[in-house]
Structures are given as structure tokens and as C-alpha cells.
Chain A
Amino acid sequence: MGIIRGPAVSSASMPTTPATSADRPPVNRDVPLVRRQALDGAYVLLTFRHPEVAAGARAGQFVMIKASTVSDPILRRPFSIMSVDGPESTFTLFLKVVGPGSRALAELRPGEAAGCLGPLGRPFTAPPEGHEAVCVAGGYGIAPFVLFGDELRRARRRSRVFYGGRSAGDLQLRDPFAALEAPLACATEDGSFGHHGRVTEAVEAYLDTRPGPATLYACGPDAMLHAVARLAEKRGLPAQVSLDPWMGCGVGTCLGCVVWIRRDHESRPKYRCACTEGPVFDAREVVWA
């Protein structure tokens, strides 16, 4: 079934059918856990079989997923797709256990299932010709940049990744970037690994040394996203930020994940669903809290 888009109206946002890269609708199915790899701390890599996500997901898109082994909490949770494996029909999530929903997922055993809808949301878009993609990640916000790095490498585009966290233990997803031929720079607030300080300081220092054009991409805590948006504005660089508001349904019906967004032609911002009109937004459109 094709996607039918409603005409744009000037009042509160009209419903938009969940967007995927190839205009393929998301698919709802039970997905068995194929592999589980515990990392240090509360981090874990989970691989699920989902042919449509494996075939169609783009970097920045997400799935709504919940372990079928538990009934409470009742809602699925949104997670960025970290990577896909077409031949194996699987996708992998990188997640940190932060509450009962993520804990139930992290405790799944291979063969056990989760209910999953995806791929969802609008992905990152490639930088303009000649731009380097400068990716800025905070904590588990690193996940989409593995898939993005893969897309950029296939497109023969230059990219680099800045990865920040409170301490070295928060930087659990460094290995994939070696294979992606994307330079990785780390920063920790306690100085235990890489640059001692905020990751955005490391980004600024890099941009100070660089003559060429760049597009910034960011995924992480709101304060970091806002800092990247300010940095991009100051330097006149385009930036795409992946917002992570509380999300209930993933398809634009619960209206829980709305964010104030103002598009160029609009006189006032509107509440827009991060799940269907994002999670990736042009940083200039976001009305920061």
C-alpha cells in the first residue's frame, strides 16, 4: 500500500503518515532476539530479526519496541536503530538500562520476542556536496551514528564523530567506528577518557582548525543538542538534531512527544510530533526550551 500524504494546512499539524526512506510504511511484528551482547555498565547490544527494518531503515530512524515477557510498563519504547544486517534480516539496538522498560528488553534471552514497529521517523539527510559530516553524540546518542557512518562511507562522503559522556564508562560504543574509517574523538566531563570537558568544546576546537565546510549532526541530551544548535548558528553551519522527547506511540496519535517547531514561512511555532515529523529536525527550526 502506498503512502498518501495529506495537504499541508496552516492550523495545528495535520496527521502525517509515518515516513520511511523509501516511503515504505513501518511494519508491526513480533521480533525474536537473535543476539545479546552485554557491555560494561548498564549498556547492552540487542539484535532482533525484522526483515523490513533490516532492509529499509535509514540512520536516525527508530523502532518502538517492548519485551513481550512483561506487561507493565505497558508502552513500547523508542530506540534509534544502531545498525542493520540485510542478509541476516536483523537490526541492532545499543541501549542503556535506565528504567523498567529498557531493563525488560536488556534481560531478554535469545529466542524470546519483543513487539516491534518500525522503521519510524525521518532520518538524517546527507550533507550538501563538499561538506564533511561532523557528528556529535552524547551517551547513548551515539547509536544512530554507526548506521549514518555506514551510509556516508558507502556514499564516499567524509565524516567524523565526536563522542561525549560523563566518564570513560559511558563511551561503550567506540569499536564500530574503526571499521567505518571515520575519525573518532572522545570527551569526558571527568577527564577519564579523551578531551577533559564537554564534547561540544572538542567540536569547537576542531572547527577552529578546519577551513572546509561542514554540516553538524547531533544526538544526545537536550542541553548538548542546544549547544550544537548555538554553535552551528554562530558559525553559519547547517545542523540536524535528533530530538528525544518522551514518546508513547511512535506514529503521531498519542501526541505526547510534541515539540515546538517553527518553519521558515511560519509566523509562530507549532507543536509537531517528534515521532512523525522528526526525530531529526533542522536545528534552526527548533524552539529551544
Chain B
Amino acid sequence: MKLAVELGGLRLKNPLIAASGTFGYGVEYEGILDLSTLGGIVSKGLYLEARDGCAVPRIVETPSGLLNAIGLQGVGIRAFVRDVLPRLARYDTAVIVNVCGDTVEEYAEVARIADAPGVAALEVNISCPNVKKGGIAFGGDARMTHEVVSAVRKATRLPVIPKLSPNVADVTVFARVCEEAGADAISCINTLLGLAIDVERRVPRLAFGTGGLSGPAIRPIAVRMAWQAARAVRIPVIGVGGITGAEDALEFLVAGCRAVQVGTANFVDPGIYSRILDGLQSYLQRHRLETIADVVGSLRFPEAEAPGEPRT
């Protein structure tokens, strides 16, 4: 129980969650690892209907990172509830549905359908940079963020966890808006908007043009934003961005995050969860700490004011 955490009504056996879009629907990893190792799994983003997503190429590698424009290819919420949820029921892990929509109404409708037995919480995707409607179009606008999160809040009894975009001037504004709209926690951050160019052909390397950057390249930015968000709101913050090992996860926890999500690293090594859990256990021992909660927010920041840190 040393690793158990509580996130706005959502109890996790440990603070490690698989990030949306990097772990499929979970069932793809059956047989490769024991899904019960994870504190939770966030599904690939789900709309009302199935989607084809973007044309290929969809992913390119950049220094210490991955630039992607998948465009939320998915099976749709009904197929997920009907075909995938029963398969996940045998595992002791929290299933979190990533809720998408082209309109506020669609978000609410997906949330209503996702409020099904076996679902532990809803993550609200207001930050995907790779779709023309919804996604960042909502998460980049404080008024729309409030509207979407409120609509999802009204549609479900489950914990509601908006996933914030880093592609904004001040992430704390959006963290507060989510809190006011009734969010139980926030995930921080989604991918950073990027562009990689094939200079020989003078075209973007991704078919969609721009993409979302993930991986270790974005970790310091993610830690900084999660830290800012955690100081700005009372609801728990889930840190996401470039985690590849226990030390990376600890950075987010020390910065004030109650839990973390592992994303791109899932593609690299499906064995990462047991590796991080071992690392967290030995960290607790080494520092003579009782529980992982003792680590959360334990950052001792220099006395001088942090540059760019808004006064609260």
C-alpha cells in the first residue's frame, strides 16, 4: 500500500498510469505484461463513432522525441464499451476513458456512454493538436474549456480529468478554469505542437503537416508546467511528459503531482512499469519514507522567485 494514491475520488494501487494514445485500449498488451501491474490505463481517445485518423506518415522521430499526427484513429465509444471493457475487467487496474468530441454535445454524449461498469474515471481530451475540430480548439480557449468540462461534469458521476495543452501562454489559467468547472483532477501535459521538415522535398515530414511532440525531449517543459499547475489548484495533478524511468516519474511527484502517466516509453519497452515500480520502492527505502504521498510536492525551490512564476 506504500504506493497507493488517491486522485479526486479515484483510488489507484500505484501512481503509474498508461497515457492515452500510447497504450491502445490496454488489451493489445495482454500476454506481454500483466496489466494489473499498472495503477491505471487511459484508453486511446474515443469519439461517438469510429475514425480513420490522419494519412501516413503519421510519426517521425526527432532528437529524444517523437512527433506524431495520428488524428485520433479509433473504434468509437460504443465498440469500446461493448468489446473492450469486458476484456479489461479481469485486471486489477483503473480503466480511464479518454473522451473526445467535435462539439460540446459530442463530448457530453461520449461521457454518458463511457459512464459504464468497469470505467473508473474520464479524461477529457481538450488538447489533441492533430484534429481540425475539438482538441486544442477547445483546450486553447479558456471559455470553451469551461464549457466542455462543465458539460462532461454534468454528464457523469465519474471523476472528470481534463488533459491540459502545453500550447498556451499560461497553463495555470486553464488549470483554474478546469477546477472551477468541476474537474476532479487534471492531466498535465499533452504533446507540444511541432513541425519537422523534409528539406530535400521541402514538405512537412508528417502527412498532416504539424504534429505533437512527446518523449524525453519535452520532459523539463512538462515538469515545469505540472509544477505550475499543481501550485495553482487544489485538485490533484497527474504529470505527463517524457517519463522513461523511476527518476523521471519522481521529478513529477516531487514537483507536486499525485500520479504520473507514461506515454511514449510504452512504445520503447513494455516492461517499463515494473522497472519504475521497483525504482519507486527503492527510492522510498533509501529516503526512509513511508509512502509515495510523502514525496508529492516535496520540492525545495530556491528562495529567489522563479522566473516566469506567476504570483498567486
Q: Contacting chain B: which of A41-49, A225-233, A246-254?
A: A246-254
Cβ-defined partner of B31 (8 Å) among A11, A17, A253: A17
Cβ-defined partner of A75 (8 Å) among B33, B52, B268: B268
Q: Contacting chain A: which of B4-12, B21-29, B158-166, B185-193?
A: B21-29
Within 8 A of B (CB), among A1-40: 1-4, 6-7, 9, 11-18, 25-29
B31 A25 Cβ-Cβ under 8 A? yes
- Which 4 A-B residue pairings sit nearest by Cβ, starting from the closest? A25-B31, A11-B50, A253-B24, A256-B59
Interface of B is mostly: loop
A1 B63 Cβ-Cβ under 8 A? no
Q: Which residue of A lies closest to B265 (CB)?
A: A74
A74-B66 contact in complex given A25-B31, A253-B266, C-beta closer than 8 Å: yes
A28-B66 contact in complex given A12-B52, A12-B74, A252-B24, C-beta closer than 8 Å: no
Chain B residues whose C-beta falls within 8 Å of the C-beta of A14 in the assembled complex: 75, 79, 83-84
A117 B32 Cβ-Cβ under 8 A? yes
Cβ-defined partner of A18 (8 Å) among B32, B44, B65: B32
A97-116 Cβ-contact flags toward B at 8 Å (1 or 0)? 00000000000000000010
Chain A residues whose C-beta falls within 8 Å of the C-beta of B264 in the assembled complex: 74
Within 8 A of B (CB), among A44-76: 66, 71-76
A76 to B270, CA, bound (A): 11
A253 B74 Cβ-Cβ under 8 A? no
| Cβ of B220 under 8 Å from chain A | no
A245 B23 Cβ-Cβ under 8 A? no
| Cβ of A288 under 8 Å from chain B | no
A36 to B198, CA, bound (A): 34
Q: Which residue of B lies closest to A29 (CB)?
A: B271
Residues of A within 8 A of B (CB): 1-4, 6-7, 9, 11-18, 25-29, 66, 71-76, 115, 117, 245-246, 248-249, 251-256, 258-259, 270-271, 276
Chain B residues whose C-beta falls within 8 Å of the C-beta of A271 in the assembled complex: 52-53, 73
B57 A246 Cβ-Cβ under 8 A? yes
Chain A residues whose C-beta falls within 8 Å of the C-beta of B76 in the assembled complex: 11-12
Residues of B within 8 A of A (CB): 22-25, 27-33, 44, 49-53, 56-61, 63-66, 68, 70, 73-76, 79, 83-84, 87, 215-216, 244, 264, 266-271
Give the distance to chain A from B197, nearest Cβ to Cβ, in Å.
17
B61 A254 Cβ-Cβ under 8 A? no
A17 B75 Cβ-Cβ under 8 A? no
A76 to B57, CA, bound (A): 17
A6 B27 Cβ-Cβ under 8 A? yes
A276 to B24, CA, bound (A): 12
Chain B residues whose C-beta falls within 8 Å of the C-beta of A249 in the assembled complex: 266-267
A-B contact pairs, 16 of them (CB 8 A): A9-B83, A11-B75, A11-B76, A12-B53, A12-B73, A17-B27, A26-B32, A74-B244, A75-B61, A117-B270, A253-B22, A253-B23, A255-B58, A256-B57, A256-B59, A258-B56
A10 to B167, CA, bound (A): 36
B28 A25 Cβ-Cβ under 8 A? no
A6 to B73, CA, bound (A): 18
Give the distance to chain A from B6, nearest Cβ to Cβ, in Å.
28
Chain B residues whose C-beta falls within 8 Å of the C-beta of A1 in the assembled complex: 30-31
A256 to B84, CA, bound (A): 21
Most B CB contacts (10 A, CB to CB) among A15, A25, A26 go to A15
Cβ-defined partner of A74 (8 Å) among B27, B49, B53, B64: B64
B32 A251 Cβ-Cβ under 8 A? yes
Chain B residues whose C-beta falls within 8 Å of the C-beta of A252 in the assembled complex: 24, 28
Q: Told that A25-B31, A72-B64, A75-B267 touch, could you supply 19 new A-B pairs with CB distance under 8 A?
A: A12-B50, A14-B75, A25-B30, A26-B31, A73-B61, A74-B215, A248-B267, A249-B267, A251-B24, A251-B28, A251-B29, A253-B22, A253-B28, A253-B44, A254-B70, A254-B267, A256-B58, A258-B58, A271-B73
